[in-house]
Amino acid sequence: MIEGFSIGHHDARGDGWLTGTTVVLARDGATAGVDVRGGGPGTRETDLLRPTAMVHDIHAVVLTGGSAYGLAAADGAMAGLEERGIGFPVPAPPADPPAAVVPIVPAAVIFDLGRGGVSAHRPDASFGSRALDAAFRADLGPGELPPVGSVGAGTGAVCGGLRGGFGYAERIAGPFRIGAALVLNASGPAVDERTGRPWADTLGSLPAPTADQRAAIAEALHWVPTLPLNTTIATVLTDATLDRDQTTKVAQVAHDGLARAVRPVHRMFDGDTMFCLASGRVPVDPATDPRRLFDLLLTAAADVVEEACLVALLAATTAGLWPAYADLVPEVRRPAG
């Protein structure tokens, strides 16, 4: 896990439930940017991430199911951070104590209402609180990755008729590390119907599906509701030192990775949202060309989002009406995490 960040999940399944929440915690704060695309976003505090806004650091990002109702999960994450004294310090006279903190917690939602059977079963503040607690308990070192698949905000995710999920990937970009925590829940497919291969399997490294498996995949891809409400959301993480303009640019370019893995993307039924958090743990070496290093980071942002999409697709498990790709093509090995 990239130093300075941790990830926690909370989810519910069975008895009408199939949804969850993921919190990406910036333990010491992080510079943040965001880019929102598609026709149906559900977000909170994204205006605060504009380069012209006052607050510089954010403390966590909430990724959650529940459609717009699920934004309530951010309340629980805020409350948990406040209890720990983490947030933007503000004066509060004549209150006791005379100062307070306001945690800055942007959030984005996916549409998963009713996928467990009961539309009213959706994340609330308790989901955000429990996912935050899990993020504080997580202590993953370099090379260790958080749980992936049908967990957290990816619990009820669906992608083009197949199960989506939560995916995480990391890579090196020059002196920096960069990762993507992503919930794949797109209305468009992540699989080429003609070949049965995921679009993100650009090297053809996965086993080729048989004719029967391709037919089963095609059947799943053709089963979509009248309104395929979805949305893919992600947080790109890096230890680089970036300003608000640069984190915004990273979030913009990160969408390119989603466009490689899901076709078509950014539709009217999606509200695709990409955050970028920079911890600033690794400064830019003054002896290097900062423009070249930043361009390396942008390239890696798109690559790592594409990889996280593939991880989410392959790690998902079958639930309800939606089969998982790895269950239809059992020769595929599910990613560990």
Q: DSSP letter string over 147-194?
A: --BSSGGGTT-EETTEE-EEEEEEEEETTEEEEEEEEE--SS-SB-TT
* CB proximity list for 31: less than 8 A, separation 6 or greater: 56, 57, 242, 243, 244, 247, 277, 278, 280
Dihedral (CA of 60, 62, 68, 70) sign: negative
Based on the structure, what is the number of domains in the chain?
Answer: 1
Per residue of the chain (337 residues), what is the pLDDT tens digit? Answer: 999 999 999 999 999 999 999 999 999 999 999 999 988 999 999 999 998 998 888 999 999 999 999 999 999 999 999 999 999 998 888 877 777 999 999 999 999 999 999 999 999 999 999 999 999 999 787 778 999 999 999 999 999 999 999 999 999 999 999 999 999 999 999 999 999 999 999 999 999 999 999 999 999 998 766 667 789 999 999 999 999 999 999 999 999 999 999 999 998 889 999 999 999 999 887 778 889 999 999 999 999 999 999 999 999 999 999 999 999 999 999 887 6
The neighbour count for residue 159, using CB atoms within 10 Å, is 29
- CB-based contact 326:334 (threshold 8 Å): yes
Closest CA to 179 of 129, 236, 222, 223: 236
Q: Residue 335: inside a domain, yes or no? A: no
Assigned domain for 204 exists:
yes
The interaxial angle of helices 125-137 and 73-83, nearest 10 deg, is 50
Q: Radius of gyration over alpha carbons of the chain, in Å?
A: 19
Residue 334 in any domain: the answer is no
Residue 333 lies in a domain: no
| Within-domain flag for 337 | no
pLDDT for the residue numbered 229 = 75
**Considering the domain boundaries, does residue 283 fall inside one?**
yes
Range of the domain at 42: 5-328
Q: What is the pLDDT of residue 224?
A: 67
User: Would residue 240 count as lying in a domain?
Assistant: yes
pLDDT of 34 reads 97
Is 124 a member of any domain? yes
- ω into residue 264 within 30 of 0, thus cis? yes
* CATH code of 192's domain: 3.60.70.12
* Structure tokens given for 276: 């970028």
Cα gap 110→42, rounded to integer Å: 7
pLDDT for res 56: 81
State which amino acid sits at residue 242.
Answer: L
